[in-house]
Structure 1
Amino acid sequence: MKTDTALINHEKIHLRQQWELLVVPFYIVYLTEWAIRAIWYLDGYKAYQNISFEREAYANEKNAEYLLHRETFSFIKYLYR
């Protein structure tokens, strides 16, 4: 179970990702990546877990200082991990 702090940090990471991609393109990329991964895995939930935006947020949600040091477009590092 996530702590409130981890959940809030997770969502703040998503807000930063949305800001970088100007919100609407974020959702276009998010849904496109989910669709591709859903076909790849044949599993919608597994596809969700492997979206680069989610992988970055889950990997760093417990690090309260992550956003202070995060580089722009860091989610790209999570595309192929």
Structure 2
Amino acid sequence: MLILPKLPANAMAIFPFILLKNSSQQKDLVLLNHEKIHLQQQLELLIIPFYLLYLLNYFINLVKYKNHYQAYYNICFERESYHFEEDLNYLSKRKLYNWTKFLR
């Protein structure tokens, strides 16, 4: 984990790191689980394709919703991560490519 006070987001997963805005977030198990789900998504897509699909999904959503926040929250990778972030055992039982269930 890296602490970056000027991080533009609250937290971010950029393989193999979890980037946090402040050190107190290291204790937030739900936030860390959310970011670990992203790391798993990145791994299964061999990292670079994840970022390409993430951006593509965002831009499609931006056209669809015409709103940054709606576009972001409806990215299939975010939908999976938010849906399961409170299940701290999720990664141990997660099936490969489960994010595809969150495509719309």
Shorter-chain-normalised TM-score: which range? Answer: over 0.9
Of 21, 33, 39, 1:9 maps to 33
Of 31, 42, 45, 2:55 maps to 31
Gap regions ≥5 residues in structure 2: 1-24
Give the C-alpha shift of residue 45 in structure 1: 1.1
Instruction: State TM-score, norm by structure 1.
Output: 0.94
> Distance in 2 between the 1:25 and 1:4 partners?
28
Q: Which runs of 4+ in 1 moved over 4 A?
A: none
Taking only aligned residues, the RMSD between alpha carbons, in angstroms, comes to 1.3
Number of positions where the alignment pairs a residue of Structure 1 with one of Structure 2: 79
Same amino acid, percent of matched pairs? 47
Deviations 1:4-49 (A, max 9, x none): 0000000000000000001110000000000000000001111000
* 2:94 counterpart residue number: 70
Instruction: State TM-score, norm by structure 2.
Output: 0.73
Question: Which has a greater percent of strand?
Answer: 2
Question: Which has a greater percent of helix?
Answer: 1
Which structure has more relative contact order (CA 8 Å, sep 6+)? It is 1
Gap regions ≥5 residues in structure 1: none
- The one-letter amino acid of 1:14's match is H
